[in-house]
Amino acid sequence: MNTNWEMEIPAQFEFGGYFRDGLAKVRVTEAYAEALCASDAPLENEHIRAACQEFDNSRAYGWGFINRQGQLISRFDYQQVSSYSSGRARVRRYDDSGSYLYGYIDETGVEVIPPQYIWATDFSEGYAVVDATGEGGHAKIIDLEGNYFINGICTAEPFSEGLAFVAYSCSPTKQAYINTSGEIVIPDLGDGPFLAGHAWVYDIKARNYGLIDKKANWVLPYRLTEEPKRQSDGLSRFEIPQETEEWKYREGWINPDGKIIWPPDWNDPCHENDVIVWPEGSCEK
């Protein structure tokens, strides 16, 4: 519906996603695919034509993208799609052997990077992490055209705020954060994404998780026993084991400054729990 509550795109899909940059992901039905292939659409859209040529009323229909007029602009036979980011959407479909492979399409529906990867991330800040083998130790960072930005690494995380974690080997000692020029900015630390200028990383010495800034400074006196989950606006959420004394709380929250804003009193180093680890001597009762 539009903002006047007028139906602009009739109910015809099994699922419809949010519109982003004028496009939305949809899951088509078998009846929709049959009607589409019987219409003039395959003659006007090469992506639809390619999908219709492989349509066999069994598995060759699924996800695709529509524009704001409700017109399909991509193939409709993807088994999985993600929303657009950096002008690319990650898609997955069968190859000739029946295996799932990931690739990327642009905003016109063209497979600018054909499905060829065993796993892949969404694009972020112009780069994505992919692996064509799935065996570990063969990850790559690619640009928007599929060119290798960094090759032959163990694994990596997408860029966030200009930095990305990269494990150059599968040894925990060979890891770092790099910038978009491929230069190492923070050596020997990883692997959480930067949000609001900070990232949660594993402290090898303390064997717990701490918060660092973009200069690799530890910005908090305490550590967390489990890695928190980053949320929007820089907030971090951590889980509270049910067996702790604060059993009535399931989750806690930390703001971008590192202050524990929930549960109450957990920002006090004298409050003993199984989640927050304060340095010895920090409590003055």
DSSP H helix total and E strand total for the chain:
3, 23
What is the rounded distance in angstroms from the CA atom of residue 80 to the CA atom of residue 100?
A: 10
The CB-side HSE value for 124 (13 A sphere, CA atoms) comes to 19
CA atoms within 13 A on the CB side of 36: 33
pLDDT tens, position by position, 241-266:
876 555 678 899 999 888 999 998 88
Residue matched to tokens 């929709």 = 32
Strand-pairing partners, residue 77, are none
- pLDDT value at position 116? 93
* 49-91 pLDDT, tens digit each: 999 988 765 567 899 999 999 999 999 999 999 999 999 999 9
Q: Which residue has the tokens 């930067």?
A: 194
CA distance 169 to 137: 7
Q: Identify which has the larger pLDDT, 98 or 165.
A: 165
pLDDT attached to residue 57 = 57
> What average pLDDT score do residues 20-42 get?
93
Q: How far apart are CA 72 and CA 263, in angstroms?
A: 48
| Model confidence at 47: pLDDT above 80 | yes
pLDDT band per the 50, 70, 90 thresholds, residue 134: low
Q: What is the pLDDT of residues 183-231, one digit of tens each?
A: 999 998 888 889 889 999 988 788 899 999 999 999 888 999 988 988 8
Residues 6+ apart with CB under 8 A from 133: 118
Distance CA 209, CA 214 (A): 16
pLDDT higher than 90, residue 165: yes
Least confident of 45-54, 147-156, 227-236: 227-236
